[in-house]
A = this chain, B = another copy of it.
Amino acid sequence: MPGVKHSRQRDALLNNLRLRYDHPTAEELYMSLKSEMPNISLGTIYRNLNLLSDDGTILKISDGGVDHFDAHTHEHYHMLCTECKHVYDVDMPVIEGLNEQAQKYVNGTVNAHFLLFNGVCENCQNKK
C-alpha cells in the first residue's frame, strides 16, 4: 500500500483489541497499552483507531457518549447499559435483507445499518 507504513504501535493496538471483548474506549486502550509501551501517546491511539475503522478493520460504536471500539467485525449488534454505560454484544442472528428493505423507503443509497439496544445489564440490576 503506497503511503502507508508499518508501525509497532498500530500492531500493538490491533493485537490488544483483537484479544478483548469488552468494547474499550480510546482511553481504556491507552491505559492498557501503556504497560507494554510506556511512551505511547493518546494521539497515536486516536489516529490509528480512525485509520483502522475507516478501512473497516475495526468497528466504531457510537452511542452519544464516548466512542467504543470492536475488532470483531462479523456483523452483530450491541446493547448499551444505560446505567453503567457498558457495551455488550448481542449475539442474535443478523436481520437479513434489512438494508435492501430500507432502500425502498429512501432516496439515495443505503450502505449499512447499526442496531443498538438500550437496557440495564445484569450487574446493574443486582445493585438494587
Pick from B101, B108, B121, B122: contact of A120, CB under 8 Å: B108
A72 → chain B closest CB, angstroms: 15
Q: Does A19 contact B (CB under 8 A)?
A: no
Q: With A62-B63, A67-B64 given, is the CB distance from A102 to B111 under 8 Å?
A: no
- Contact A115 B118, beta carbon cutoff 8 Å: no
Known: A62-B62, A62-B63. A90 touches B109 (CB 8 A): no
Interface residues on A, range: 35 or more
The stretch from A9-17, A28-36, A38-46, A75-83 touching chain B is A75-83
Chain A contacts to B: CB under 8 angstroms: 60, 62-64, 67, 77, 79, 81-82, 88, 90-92, 95, 99, 101-102, 104-125
